Each structure stands twice: as C-alpha cells, then as structure tokens.
Structure 1
Amino acid sequence: MYKSTGNSGSRIANAIIVPMVAVVVISLSGIFALLHWSARVSDETAEQSQYQLIAGALRLTQNYLAKQQNGVVIWDEAYHRINQPEPSQGWIYDNVMHWLYKTDGFNRSVLIDREFKLGSVYAQNHSTKWLNAKLLADLKPAIAKVRARYIASFKRTPSGLFSYTPELISTRRSIAETGVVALEGEPYLFSAAAIIPQIQSVTPRRVPPAVLVSMMPLRGEKLQEISEMSRLDGFVLMQQQSSEADLGRYPLKSPLGETIGVIAWQTSQPGTQMMRRIDPLLILAALMIAAVVVLVTVFTRQMTRRLARSEAKAVHTARHDALSGLPNRSRFHAMLSDTLTENADGETNTAVVYIDLDHFKDINDTLGHSAGDKVIVAVAQRLRRVIPESGIVARISGDEFAMVIRNCEDDVWLDFILDQVQDEISRPIMIGRRELFASLSMGAAIAPRDGNDPDELLRKADIALYDAKANGRGRRSFFEQSMELQVQSRDKMSRELRLALKNDELDLAFQPQTDTSAKRIVSVEALARWTMDDGTVVPPSQFIPVAEETGLINELGIWVLNKACAKAHEWPGITMSVNVSPNQFKHPRFVEKVMAILAANNLPPQRLEIEVTETVFAGRNDSVLKALRRLKNLGVKVALDDFGSGYSSLSYLRRFPFDTLKIDRDFVSDMNGNAEAEAILVSIIQLGKALGMTIVAEGIETIEQIRFLQAHDCHRMQGYFISRPLDACALSQFLEDFQGKYSAGFGMDLSYRGRTAEA
C-alpha cells in the first residue's frame, strides 16, 4: 500500500514539478516580453496623447479665428449692404476684408453671395491669382454647412412666416465652420462665417446667407501659439509624412479629406526610458525566482504524498456538484449510459427527465445569491426524497436538474411520479423567516420508445422541457415527434430568415393613416413582409416570434428601420412609423444605430415615429426609459402601441411622456352598438388629449367606426377600410388617387379603399 502510494506520489510530483519549471521559464520570458511590449505601448500612448493635445490646440485656434470675425459678420449694416443687388465693393473692402487684415491678420478673404457665387476677393498684396477652382472646391463643403445651419436656424411662426433670432449679443456667436486648406502650396487656416443680422428678423421665406471666408497662413506666430497651447516644443511644418521613428506626425486635412501638410514634433518615449531603468532589476528578480523554484520543488515532493491520499476524495468532488451534493453533468451522463446498457434488451422503460426551476433568476435578483443557493439545496434534497430508490437525480447547471427513473410501467405511472415531484417542490421553502414557493417545468423522454442513445434521449428531454416552458411553465411535457418537427421547423425558418436578411430578400408594406377629417394621409406604418423564392408567403406571426427567440430581431429591426427611412423620401410630409421590439432596446447602442440610420438616409428625426408596446418596460429597466428619452430629445416621435391591452398601461403614461397613443384594435372592433366599448374608447381619446398626445385608432373596418371617431375628434385612423398594407409602388398610386379623388371626405364614394395587398 505504501509503495503504491509512494509511486503515485512520485508520479504526481513529476507531473507537478516539470510543468511548474516550464511555467516559470515561460512566465519569466513572458514577463520580459510583456514589459517591453508595455513600454512600446506606453510610447505609442504618449504619442497619441500628444497628438490629441495638438488636435485640441488646433481646434481652439480655429474657434478663435471664428470669434475674430464676429465684428463684421454679426453686423446689421454689413448684412444689409452685402445683400444689396449691387453691393459697394469699396465699402466691403474698407469695412470688412481690409479691416479684418489690419485688426486680426487675415491676409486673404473671399465673399460668397447668397446665390453661391463669388462676390468679392481680397488679398493683402492686392493679387487675385491665388483664388482658383481647386481652392473654391476645397472651401465648398464648409460654405455649404454654414448656409445650411443658417437656414435651419429659422423657425416658422404661426402666421406662416419665418423668424430668425440671433444669439444673445453678449455671447457674439457666429454661424461658422473652420478648417485648413492649401493655398499656394502652404497650409492656411480659414473661417467661413455667415453674414447675419444683429436683431430678430421675420421674412416670408428662408434665404441662404452670404458667407465670408477669411484666411491666414499656418506659420510663424500662429504655429507658435498652437505649440504653446499643446505644451509641446519643436514644431515643424512639413509637406509630406516623415519616416523617422521617434518623430510624431499630425496630418492637416482639407474639408475634402486631402492631406495638405504635416505638423511634426519630437515625441517623448516614457516606456523606453522606463525599461532602461528596470531591466537590471528584472534580471535580479529572475534569479531570485529561480531560487524559489528550487525550494518549491523540494516542498512539492513532500506534499504530493498527502495529495495521493486525498485522491479518492478529489475524484468524488470532480463527479459531484459542490453545492447540492448531487452528481454533476458528466457523472450523470456516465450513469445514464450505464443504465441504458444494462437495459439494452428493452424489457423495461427508462425515463430521462429534464427539470428547470421557473423564474429562479428572480430569487437571485431580489433576495441575493445566498438565498438562491439555499433554494437549490432544498430542491435537491426534496428530489432525492421523492424519486424512487432506483432512480438517479443530478444537478446539470444553475437551476437545471435531471432525473433517470428506471422500470417505468407506462406513461400514467410516470405521470404519477412526476406529480409527486411537483407536489413536493411546491411546498413552501423557508429562507430565514421568509416563505418561498418554487415551481418546476419538466420534459421527459422514454427509452426505448424515444431511442437508446444517451445524447439523443437528453436532447429529446430538453425539447420536451422547452415545450413545457413555452406553454406556461409549472407543467410537464412528454416528448412527441411533433415537438422535434417544430424545433426543426423553427431552426429551418431561423436559418432561412438569416439568409433572407443577408441577401436583402425581405420587403416592406406600408399601411396609411388618415387625419381626423379622413381627407389627408398623415402617416404610414412600415411592416416587414417575407416571400420566399418559391413564392411561399411567410406571415409575420410566424417569422417575427422566431426572430425574437433567435436574436435575429435586432438585425431585422435595423433592416426595417433603414428601409423605411430610405423610402420616406418618396412621400414628403408623411410620418414614417416603425415598430421596435423590446429586445432591440436591450442593445447598448440602439439609439446610436437609429441616429446613424437617420443621418445615412438624410431623414429629419421629426419624420420618424418609433412604436413600442408596454412590454418594452418589462423588468422596470431604467435603461429603456433613458433610450426612449434620448430618441425623443433627438426629435423622434415615440408611440405606445396596443394601448389598453395590458394591465398597467396607465402607469407607463405616467412614467414616460409619449407623443402618440395607439388604441388597441379590440376596442374599435367591439364598439359597434356596444355602449360600454364606445364609452371606453371615448375615455381613452379624452385621456390621451388631456396628456397632449396624438391619438391613433387601429382596426378601422366600417364607415360607422370612422364617423364615430370623427365625432370624438380622434386625431388619426388606420385600418382595412382606409387601406390594407401596400407595397411602395401601390402606396404611391394610392396617395395620388386619395389626394385627387377624395379630398371631399368620406361618405361621398367608398370605392377608394386600398387595393388588396398582402395583409
């Protein structure tokens, strides 16, 4: 016995010491390599930090250029004189361009009039040859942005006129864009600012401003100012990138993205300097570690004898769950395999049962993981008590357990056993002074009926468990072939949907919404449609749940949002409404994705309406509210869909100020002749109006419903009576017909109802 233990200890010692020495050598080498890599990263980080300092200093310098222009660009007299049909070039020269040169050093200036034409050109040396088509092309993006910002600053008044109100005089903030351009082979700083009035003005239409572009060379004192602000010395302005390793480079780019010069400086290298100081210390530390390794080797040989004696205990621990004491997943699989081998003749049935605790995460979240651990222990003890003596129970992971029940007489007998399991677990579990109630979902597969392979039986039991959870939890399901077909069908649809999204094979349909008078289409709701290559139409009720389960809903939702925003330009003046799944709000950058889509499609946020249901607030997740508020602050409208279908809709109206309230279609369909339904509908309309929301009624199918809603001043209406969902071409034709034929309102002719389309 002792000899065996000694041999085992020697083997363990060798198994530990040899790898340990190898690990030490590799670790020391890794430490040296890591430190040198860290030094290089530190050098790169220092250079990047210096790069950012230069970028910040350059921005401050450019902002100061814009501020220097304020005296001439925010000036009523300049505004009126420059915008005359034939402005005085002498006045502009003396009071604008030459004045800027004398006071602030702008030695080049260009005035672009309201028609985007060249108005005046100034150079300190009275030359005009410096202005060429290439320079104007470089300046064009900045000028265009200034003109666009000026136009956007006008606000429409109730009278239909446009009002422009400048910033407070004390702030003296101009509408300007700054940057760097190449002039005569040399970088020049420029500021392009709109010529704007000092006081509020009201005009019948918005007119682009004249734009003054003032420039000065980036050299001498100006370059020295940037160097002082960035606290970096040795600035050199170069025309091309340098290949020197210790030289930092900041490229100067024109508004068109072209590199027109490089600011170079001598970078500091803190990492390299540090390594020169600590390399000797590292070598000394390596020698000390080597000495420690020798001592540990001697000590390890002594300890391995003790480790050999605890080998049996270690094997047990490796095969069992530490918390519950039950066999773990790998041990359970081995025991199941042995059981099936013993019963290979198939004379008796063997049941494999998967068990999942319902809503176990809520216990951890509300009472803490300590309480959750006590529940796991209590459930494990009860399962061991209630299962037949010949049975096996194991903890698979987290809140999942599994059982093997031998010698099952039939399904009725197994059902009786599982009833006992469920009754035992449903008894209250005491955690301190608190009573907790647990419930189980169970899925069972039976050998040899459902197969004799362990993995196959476990897979089928898992499918049955999924069926039990999908049908309400707190119940059990026996595996049936139809369940597997459903899983395969869902998996097949998931793969086909993923491929359809990848190949852009889905379509959009649009369902119009009218205003109160039913004479004008004010909004359309975008709906995803999927027709396979073979012509099979997959209804949204099938592929949307699959997308939710598989996580494809995020990709599908972004696809719908992008396509809808792109199509919105075909129907100006109409709001584009898009449904957003609760799962999409879980994405940490969902709002940024919406912003990117709006920007990519050049769509004003005010023309987009996001529709959410109250399930988006499940779990009272504050991040959802923050995302909704960010969207609303951007100008995107937010609608609460299917209002009234949930038990707590009013609480959501109190938590978040929605722009739009969409009444659930059941209220509209039930109101015909039903006084109670009509009273509820009227109450919802009045509630929404009191909260300042736009009210939309869905599911309109009769003229009587429209007249009722008109009588109670419902803002918008949607339904098959107005139009079924239409594709883009059909919607364009529908809008044309609607505007042309039925501006007189409903009741005149009802034949205009939307052409039949895929619902």
Structure 2
Amino acid sequence: MSRDKAVAANENARVEAFLDAHLDEASTTLNAVAPIFAELAITRHESQPYDIPAHLLDALSQRHLASQAFLFSPSGDALAQEAIPSERPGVTDQEIRSRIRSMASISNYTETAVSDIVNIGGEVFLLSTRAIPCSGFTMPCSVASVGHLDETIASQMEDFWQVSSFGVSTIEPTGKSTEFAPIQNLSNETIGWFHWKSRHQGPTVLNTIMPWLSLLTTGVLIMCWLVWRRGLKISAQVLQSQQEAKHSALHDPLTGLANRTLMNARLEEALNQLGRQDKGFALHIIDLDRFKNVNDTLGHQAGDELIQEAAARLTSVCRNGDTVARLGGDEFAIIQLGVANPSSAARLSRRAIEQLANVYQIANSDVFISGSIGVAIAETNESSIQELVRQADIALYRAKGAGRNQFCFFEKEMDSALQERSAIEKDLRIALENNELTVAFQPQVSADGLHIRGMEALVRWNHETRGVVPPSVFVPVAEETGLIRQLGAFVMRSSFSTARKWPDITMAVNVSAGELHHQDYASSVIALAREMGVQTDQIELEITETVLLENSNRVTRTIKALKAAGFRIALDDFGTGYSSLSYLRRHQVDKLKIDQSFVSSIGVREDAGAVVQAIIHLGEALGLSVTAEGVETETQRAALKARGCAYLQGYLFSRPIREDQIPDLIRMFDQRGKKRGAA
C-alpha cells in the first residue's frame, strides 16, 4: 500500500513539473485578455472519454492551477466537466462570466497549446496544455490532457505505416529484427522508444491483394474461356456460312450439280492439263426434248422433279472424275475426262440418251422425254472455254435439227452454217424493222381446176444482196430466235387486209408453234380481226400436226378460244408425223392438207397413192375437207380428183402472186370456167 502511494506521489511530481514548466507559456496570451481570472480548480469528468489512470486524474484535480489554464483531450473532448474559480478576493462570479463571454471573439486562441511527452510509471504519455476561451455561463473546459501511447495508438500506427509489432517501451529495444526510434521530450531527453518490425512491401501488398487478384484472375479466365468458346462457335458458323455460300455460288440449287461458273473452272483446269497428258476431254451439252410440254401440262413443280431425276440419271452414267453441270432450264453439260478418241465420247452420249428416254414417274403420271446432245472434243490446249462451248452448242443445234433424241459431234463445216444462221438472224431483224418483207398469195382451187375456193398467204423476203431467201431458210431462224411473233403478226395483218377486199374467198394463214404457246395469242388475233373488219369464219389458221402432238394445255386452250371465235383450223402437212385420230377430235380440226411429198410421189410410188387415198377417206369419215398441196402436173390433178380430193393447190394452177395480181387471177379462172361451161 505504501508502495502505491509512493508511485502516485512520484507521478504527481512529474505532472506538476510539466505544468509548472509550460503553463506559464500558455497563460501569457490569456493574461492579455483576462487578467482578472481567478484560479480554477479541476473537477473530474464523470464519463471518461479516455482510460486515464484514476490516480493521475486525482492528482490533477488536487492541483491549484493558474486561472488561464484549461484541460482538454487531443480530439477536443473535455476531460473536466467544468472549471470552478477558487477563492480570490475582489473577483466575483459575474465578472468571470462576463470575461468568459468576451473571450469568445478571440481568433488566435489555438496558438495557446503546449505539448510534451512524459514517462509516468514506466509508461509513456503525451501531456498537453491548451488555453481555450469558451462561451457559456461556466467554463466547460479543462487545463490539460493526458494521452496514453497504448496498444490502440500502436495498432493505428501499424496500419498507417504498414509495420508489425509496433509498440512503445521505456527500455531500449534489442534484436536484429526489430527497428526502433527514440521518443524525446521538449528538453531532448529520451523518454522511451518506438519499436516495430518492418514488413516487406511486396509480400504485404501481395497478401493483401492476393484474394482479390485471384478472384479477378478467375473471373478473367472464365470470361476468356467463354469468349473463346463463343469465338469457336462463331468461327464455325462463319466457316460453315462461307462454305455454304461458296457451294451456292458454284452449284445449282435445284439439282446440286455444278453450275456454269464451276463448269467453266473445271474446263479451264482440263485445258491446262492437256499439255501434260496424252488424252483429251469431251464437252457434252444436253438439252431435254419437249421439256416445255411437261411444264405446261403438269406444272412447274412436276418440271422441277423431272429436272432432278434427269440430273440423277446423267450423273449415274459418268465416272467419278467427270463433271455434271446444269447450265439452266433444261440444259445440262458433262465434262468427260480421259477421252482418247471420239468413240469413248460417243459411248457416254449414247448411255445418257438411253437413260433420259426411260419413263419418268412424275405427279402420278408416266412421262416420256428424250435428250439431244452436242459433243465437242478438246485434244490440244489451243482451244478456249468459249470456243468449246460454242462448238458443243453448234453440234447440239444440229442434233435437234436432225430430229432430236440423238447426239452429234462438232465438225468444222457446222461452224460456217452457224455463222450463216447468225447472219440471217441479223438481216431478218433489219428486214422486219424496215418492212422489207412481203406477203404473196397462192390460190386453192376446186379439183376440176376451174374455181378459186381460197388463198394461202405466204411470206416472201427479197434481200438486197442475198436475193430471194426461201421461207424454209429464214422461218426456222425466226422460230428459234423469238422473231416468229413479230413475223407472224406482220403476215396476219397483211392477210386480213387482203381478205377484207375479197370476202367470198377463204384466207389461209400459217401459224407456228411458238405463236400458239403465247397465252395472249388468241386474244390478239381476235382483236386484230375485229380491228380490220374481217369475218373470223373467212380465216383459216394452218398448224402442223407436230404442234398438236406436244399435247400442251396452253396450245389446247388457244385453239379452243380461236375456234370459239369462229376461226377455222386446218392441219398442215398431215401424214408426215405421228397422225392421231384423238387430236383431230380434241382440237375440232376443219381441214386436212396432204403434204406435197405424197402428191409428188403419185404415179412413182404405189404406197404414196395408198396414203393419199387413206387421208381422203379419213377426211370424209370425219366430215373434214381435204386439200392437196404441191400439185404441179395434170396427172397429179387427175389422180387426186379421181380419189375424191375436193381442193388442190400448186404451181399447176398458179405460183404465189402479189395482192395486186389477184383480180387478174380471179378473172382468168372465171373465163376458164365459162369456156368449160360453154363447151
């Protein structure tokens, strides 16, 4: 117990020494503004903001301090609840309060603080004095503050300075791993030491940020993995899209075969290989015969199915190295590699034709078509792609012209024929634009040769350099190039104009298959007849039996519309094709025309007379009139009359004449009839 008192006394002495040394300095400023302050006593604050030893506060509370001194904490919190003036004669409470209120206006009171460090009981404290003028009825301040440099402050300094084991000691620390610094008071006396252990910044920072860094790294890795997976998926999709786009650009969408672009690329490859190989290659261009009839009869969907089946059949006859392409519509091509001679190309074309000729099951119907093939063989690399395709096209044209359902090799003679055809097409276009064509008329007479029953309109072309160009030359060109509608319209208008002048004479006008396939043909002819003021029953439209054999729904509707309008239908060149009683009834034909090939054979071939007799009997049985074409001799006329043919046409009676010659021709026949009647 006596020891505790001795320690307390020692601590009190230290505090008193500090206060005696520094309070006078703090009081100097306040003495200027409050000289009449009495001594103040310290009352202990009932709720302590700091854990200050009780014996220290007791010592402070028992000390009579100068009137200008006040006690406060480092944070500004009061350690004493109030200051009470001690007894001093001549100073009243009212005076003190008055002086305190006047001190509130002092602005430099913050300069009245003095601090020092003291060792109390083997521990280090920060002891401060500060004079603070306050307002109020009493002085809510204290004369001094004591701050213990304890573990709380040490912990704060550890976090701030990033060190460990920070502490305060009154004994000088030892040890290599410990850093320390002296604590000195205002008199430069060492009161104690700060000691700590240094932290390495790298590990410290690393330990601090490692959890967050790991979390961030994991997130970044996951994100990168997701981006990588997404990138792989997008790359695969892009690659697939590119492949699909490339395939679409080089292949036919309906059949999956190579298209013209890919075919040209394969042709170029084959041409480049010609100089390195002993064998050449062949280009086959295939066209499906009468494919348009399938479209018109069964519809476009059936036509697509037929194209797909034909593509499969053509692929089946080729080897793995060959290329099968669809060039568009019903046209295909085959690039046959390793062709040593024309016979190997011929074998492939023959197999293709046989496959194409087999029956097709389309739309629950049996469909028959055939194929025509043009073949061009490349044996040297001097040929170009365009030249090969042109040669194969020329050969194809020859194959179709020869009757279809066959193949034909290109020959040099074909080239000149094709060039001539191109020249005729060019000149024909010019002739139509410049109205260089004319229409001639050939009479159709009674079997006795005395009366004109009708006229057939025949187109004529007298070229300024070519001379007279036969219809057999330029009409097929017009049909193939699409000029036939323009040509037909010209002939029809000229014929109607002539027919209007001789209303008692039937006017026969030839109509091509190309015209009948146009859906507006019937309406245009009907409108023209109305415009020209021609009776429709005066007009006889001549069509070939090959048109009817196509069995086209559109052609059937066109003929039906024309018949309903009053036009007569004549079947030209009857007997030269596949004659059928069914289409004669279906299309309500009015007249049969015996082809001149049978007429010219009368008296030469026995079977010709039999065919003519059969046609005449067929016409009589069906109630159809019959006209024989190409009558050139009296023998032919007499034979036809004897067999019962009612009408004849040919050079025996008249060559085709101009319109202005018709009146003379009519008068000549009238006079002939009168002479015969008089005789």
What is the match of residue 639 of structure 1?
A: 570
- 1:491 and 2:425 matched: no
TM-score (structure 1 length as normaliser): 0.51
- For the 8 Å contact 1:519–1:744, the answer to whether it is kept is no
**What are the equivalent positions in structure 2 for 1:289-368 lying under 5 Å apart?**
304-311=234-241, 313-314=243-244, 317-318=247-248, 319-321=250-252, 326-343=257-274, 349-356=280-287, 368=302
Corresponding residue for residue 479 of structure 1: 410
Alignment RMSD (CA, Å): 4.1
Considering Cα pairs closer than 8 Å and 6+ residues apart, tell me whether 1 or 2 has the greater RCO: 1
Normalised by the length of structure 2, the TM-score is: 0.56
User: Aligned-pair distance for 1:489?
Assistant: 1.6
Distance 1:450 1:727, change over 3 A: farther
**Is the contact made by 2:260 and 2:326 (CA closer than 8 Å) also made in structure 1?**
yes
- C-alpha contact (below 8 Å) 1:324/1:376 kept by paired residues: no
Give the whole-Å Cα distance in 1 for the aligned partners of 2:589 and 2:387. 50
Match of 2:458?
A: 527
* Equivalent position SS for 2:540: strand
Q: Distance in 1 between matches of 2:429 and 2:256?
A: 43
1:493 Cα deviation from its structure 2 partner: 1.0
Verify: 1:378 aligned to 2:309, yes or no: no
Residues 611-660 of structure 1: CA deviation (Å, up to 9, x unaligned): 22222323323443443343334333332223333333432332233333
Closer, same or farther: CA 575–316 of 1 in aligned 2, 3 Å: closer
Contact 1:450–1:457 (CA<8 Å) still a contact in 2?
no
Aligned-residue sequence identity (percent) comes to 36
1:597 aligns with 2:528: yes
- Is the Cα–Cα contact under 8 Å of residues 663 and 696 in structure 1 kept in the other structure? yes
Q: Structure 1 residue 536: deviation in Å?
A: 1.1
Which range moved further: 537-546 or 623-632?
A: 623-632
Match of 1:60 in 2: none
Larger CA Rg, structure 1 vs 2: 2
The one-letter code of the counterpart of 1:496 is D
Quote how far apart the aligned CAs of 1:582 are: 2.3
Residue 659 of structure 2 corresponds to: 728
Q: Deviations over 1:34-80 (max 9, x none)?
A: xxxxxxxxxxxxxxxxxxxxxxxxxxxxxxxxxxxxxxxxxxxxxxx
Match of 2:498 in 1: 567
The Cα shift of 1:434 comes to 11
Q: CA deviation at 1:513?
A: 1.9
Q: Which residue of 2 aligns with 1:469?
A: 400
Q: CA deviation at 1:521?
A: 1.6
Deviation at 1:306, TM superposition (A): 4.5
- CA gap of 1:442–1:611, structure 2 versus 1, over 3 A, is closer
Secondary structure of 2:651's aligned partner = coil
Tell me, in whole angstroms, the C-alpha distance in 2 between the residues paired with 1:673 and 1:444. 40
* TM-aligned CA distance change 1:701 to 1:353, over 3 Å: closer
Name the amino acid aligned to 2:383: N
Write the deviation string for residues 575-597 of structure 1: whole angstroms up to 9, x where unpaired.
22211122222222222222233
Residues 712-721 or 394-403, more deviating: 394-403
The partner residue of 2:555 within 605, 624, 632 is 624
Q: Indicate the residue corresponding to 1:664 in structure 2.
A: 595
Deviation at 1:510, TM superposition (A): 1.2
SS of corresponding position for 1:743: helix
Secondary structure of the residue aligned to 2:430 is helix
Q: Is the 8 A contact 1:329 1:396 kept in 2?
A: yes
1:651 is aligned to 582
Q: How does 1:53-64 map to 2 (within 5 A)?
A: none
Instruction: Note if contact 1:668-1:699 (Cα within 8 Å) is conserved in structure 2.
Output: yes
Q: CA deviation at 1:438?
A: 8.4
Structure 1 residue 511: deviation in Å? 1.1
Q: What's the secondary structure of 2:652's corresponding residue? A: coil
Cα deviations by residue, 1:654-676 (Å, 9 ceiling, x for unpaired): 22333333333344444448776
Instruction: Output aligned runs, 1:28-67, within 5 Å.
Output: none
Flag structure 1 segments of 5+ consecutive residues without an equivalent: 1-299, 749-759
Q: Output the CA distance in 1 between the equivalents of 2:364 and 2:537.
A: 54
- 1:404–1:733 CA distance, 2 compared to 1 (3 A): same
> 616-625 vs 665-674, which deviates more?
665-674
Structure 1 SS opposite 2:408: strand
CA displacement, residues 558-616 of structure 1 (integer Å, 9 cap, x when unaligned): 11111112123444532222111222222222222222332333223233222222223
CA distance 1:646–1:310, shift in 2 (3 Å): closer
SS at match of 1:513: strand
Amino acid at match of 2:423: K
Q: Deviations over 1:73-94 (max 9, x none)?
A: xxxxxxxxxxxxxxxxxxxxxx
Q: Which of the residues 544, 547, 559 maps onto 1:613?
A: 544
1:539 to 456, 467, 470: 470
Q: Give the AA of the match of 1:735.
A: I
Q: Over residues 446-504 of structure 1, what are the superposed CA-to-partner deviations in whole Å (9 max), with x where a residue is unaligned? A: 34558432233233233333333333444433322222222222122112112211211
Q: Secondary structure at the match of 2:674?
A: coil
Q: 1:518 to 1:596 in 2, by over 3 A?
A: same
| Partner Cα distance (1:447, 1:307) in 2 | 41
Matches within 5 A, 1:415-426: 415=346
| 8 Å CA contact retained: 2:305, 2:362 | yes
| 2:480 alignment partner, one of 531, 549, 553 | 549
Matches within 5 A, 1:16-415: 304-311=234-241, 313-314=243-244, 317-318=247-248, 319-321=250-252, 326-343=257-274, 349-356=280-287, 368=302, 372=306, 375-376=309-310, 378-379=312-313, 381-384=315-318, 386=319, 389=321, 391-397=322-328, 400-406=331-337, 408-412=339-343, 414-415=345-346
Indicate if the aligned counterparts of 2:511 and 2:541 stay in contact, CA closer than 8 A: yes
Contact residue 275 and residue 381 of structure 2 kept, 8 A:
no
Quote the offset at 1:731 in angstroms. 3.3
